[in-house]
Amino acid sequence: MAGLESTKQGKIERIQENLLAQSERKILNWLCARMPAWVVPDLLTTIGMVGAFMVFAGYVTSNLGDGWLWWSILGYVIQWFGDSMDGSLARYRKIERPRYGYFLDHSCDGLATTLVVVGIGLSSYVLLEVALLALAGYLLLSIHAFLLVRVLGEMKLSYAYAGPTELRLILIALTLAMIVAGSEPVLFGTLTWFDLIVGSIGGMLIAFFIAQTALTARRLAIEEPARRQ
């Protein structure tokens, strides 16, 4: 569990239980202590978005050759650096702008994820329809996380011990598999194993959304019992 952020409504409890959280925090703190003064959070946010566009470009241009997928892998690393460091550096230097940071960070996260997933769908490895299923699952969980901030004052940053960093590693592994295996269909029709993997991820994200919605609704129903008329 990380520290607290504040918004106009009050404190937000950041809940981060992903497997790599502690190791990642040590790395980020080490980097924060060594960042030159001219590196500011907004610059890191921009770097993160540049990485997302690199991921998108790599997947799209992979239609010209598998070698372009290495561009996507580099983009994931750059996107992780910018996205993970902007808020970390602000908290490290105690220069947080809670409402501005919250708004900008999650707006960029939504755009970055859309670029990554649509890029995968525009490659020759995964059908766009399958990729959009995964995007829908991610956006539903994002909506759930934002609703938790409003109704419980909690910002949930991970589900089933997996967060953005673990998801990036899964996507990097998937991209490496694309380079090794190629895009020839191995299931049936035009569907590939990559369609099955990405579609399964999308299905799990939607299932997590449904389960978490039910759990949260039950918790709120207990805390706010129905009133008798």
Query: What digits encode the pLDDT tens for the residues 111-144?
Result: 999 999 999 999 989 999 999 999 999 899 889 8
Tokens of 24: 């990642």
Percent of the chain with pLDDT strictly greater than 90? 52
Q: Quick one: pLDDT at residue 124?
A: 87
Q: What is the spatial distance between Cα 124 and Cα 110, in angstroms, rounded to a whole number?
A: 24
Q: Quick one: pLDDT at residue 78?
A: 97
Q: What is the mean pLDDT of the chain?
A: 85
Pair 29, 169: CB distance under 8 Å: no
Please state the rounded mean pLDDT for residues 184-192: 68
Q: What is the spatial distance between Cα 78 and Cα 74, in angstroms, rounded to a whole number?
A: 6
Please state the rounded mean pLDDT for residues 54-81: 95
Q: What is the spatial distance between Cα 104 and Cα 91, in angstroms, rounded to a whole number?
A: 15
What predicted TM-score, i.e. pTM, was given to this entire model?
Answer: 0.84
Q: What is the spatial distance between Cα 211 and Cα 209, in angstroms, rounded to a whole number?
A: 6
Owner of token pair 């060594």: 34
List domains and CATH numbers for the chain.
Answer: 4-223 (1.20.120.1760)
pLDDT digits (tens, 9 = 90+) for 201-224: 999 899 989 998 999 899 888 888
Q: Alpha-carbon torsion 24, 29, 30, 32, what sign?
A: positive
Q: Which amino acid does the sequence have at 120?
A: I
